[in-house]
Amino acid sequence: MKFYSETSSTETRIPMSNFLREVSEDETIQTVLDGLTCDHKHISSKYFYDETGSKLFEEITRLPEYYLTRTEQIILERSSFQIAGKLKNVDIIELGSGGSSKISLLLNSVPAESRGSVRYIPVDISQAAIENSAQILIRNFPGLKIHGVIADFEKQLNRIPGDANRLICFFGSTIGNLSRKESHKFMGDLGRTLQPGGMLLLGVDRVKDRDMLEKAYNDNKKITEKFNRNILNVANNLAGTDFDPDMFEHIAFYNEDHSRIEMHLKAKERMRIFCPYLNSKIIIEKGETIHTENSHKFTSRHIEELALAGGLEIHNIFSDRNKWFSLIQFRKNV
């Protein structure tokens, strides 16, 4: 379905496609409840991002301990000319676009005279996020074409428009939320959507010392704690449960065997959770945990495995001087 964004008089309308309604509400409820009624309780980290969760995440990106976003932005600033300095006739697809700041750093390097041949395609589950960032980009990059896509990019990659030459951007180390196996499958999917010569720009957080990693997910201001607990509010809204987030403790630690940060919520007391879609209550024992996130970190080996899984060549690796974070430019071979 294609439509045009709602606007106030000073705004420009941009074309939008919404494929999200095809992922049914029932399916979401089922997924959430499956995770809460099995042996090792879990809620997928993709449910963190309701309005409150997205705001909390924004706040996290500004925390001194959370070096990821800041570092990736520095890398983008320094590498954008090399990546985008000669771009033309291309669809730039940004997966999980959220705000406009990262893509702006890239667009800064696209020559103004090529802008007319460049189309920006933000893909996000939030229509508001796409509309807001589109308005900013239209103002800052006159001539740029934008087509917003509301979709769950993990499931709906094939719905993304663009038959032209593609540059796919997947920033923020969000790929780290997938298991290694899922990330390889996803790379395969991404690789298949690229034509020969097409590029993928992937942000990945690197394996580093435990202390620095754990501090990034246990910040002093306890914003990450709020962010973690908020997923129970999201579950309540999606599945009608009656979790009290304050009855859970925030746990985040580095699991070295899997090179990943894990986040969990640990029950302070035994509790019985009501759900209108279940005929018995969900029992949570005191001390029992709900696994809410894996955030995988990457070694050079992991990066090579991603390339292999995607059938892509590693064209460039841009990192900060401490090698805390990397932006990998993959290229599909002819």
Query: Which residues sit at the interface with ligand AVJ, rule CB under 6 A?
Result: 60, 68, 172-174, 176-177, 217, 224, 227, 293, 295
Q: Minimal distance in Å, beta carbon 334 to ligand AVJ?
A: 32
Residue 127 and residue 18 in contact, taking contact as beta carbons nearer than 8 Å: yes
CB of 104 to ligand AVJ, least distance (A): 19
Of 35 and 53, CB closest to ligand AVJ: 53
Nearer to ligand AVJ, 252 or 273 (CB): 252
Q: Supply 139's token pair.
A: 């103002």
Say how far apart CA 312 and CA 36 lie, in whole Å: 37
**Closest separation in Å from C-beta 232 to ligand AVJ:** 15
DSSP 8-state assignment for residue 243:
-
Comparing CB distances to ligand AVJ, the nearer of 135 and 173 is 173
Q: How far is the CB of 54 from ligand AVJ (least distance, A)?
A: 10
Residue closer to ligand AVJ (CB basis): 80 or 224: 224
The Cα–Cα gap between 76 and 83 comes to 9
Estimate to the nearest angstrom the gap between the alpha carbon of 78 and the chain centroid: 22
Q: To the nearest whole angstrom, how small is the minimum distance from the Cβ of residue 306 to ligand AVJ?
A: 16
- How many whole angstroms separate alpha carbon 86 and alpha carbon 111? 7
Instruction: Answer whether 101's CB lies under 8 Å from 172's CB.
Output: no
Residues whose CB falls within 8 Å of the CB of residue 238, separated by 6 or more in sequence, listed in order:
28, 29, 32, 47
CA 19/CA 269 separation, integer angstroms = 41
Closest residue by Cα to residue 92 from 81, 104, 76 = 104
Q: In terms of CB distance, is 117 or 319 closer to ligand AVJ? A: 319
- The Cβ-side half-sphere exposure at 13, using a 13 Å CA radius, reads 10
Residue nearer to ligand AVJ on the CB measure, 68 or 110: 68
The tokens describing 269, both together, are 């007391």
- Residue 252: CB minimum distance to ligand AVJ, A: 7
Which residue carries 């059938």 as its tokens?
311
Count of all residues that appear for the chain in the document = 334
Closest CA to 154 of 126, 186, 188: 186
Closest chain position to ligand AVJ (CB): 295
Question: 140: which residues sit within 8 A by CB, 6+ positions away?
Answer: 104, 107
Question: Residue 57 Cβ, how far from ligand AVJ at the closest point, in Å?
Answer: 6
3-class secondary structure, 125:
coil
Which of 190/271 has CB closer to ligand AVJ? 190
CB of 46 vs ligand AVJ, minimal distance in Å: 9
Q: Which of 243, 215, 213, 214 is nearest to 230 (CA)?
A: 243
Closest to ligand AVJ by CB, 215 vs 315, is 215
Q: Closest separation between CB of residue 163 and ligand AVJ, Å?
A: 30
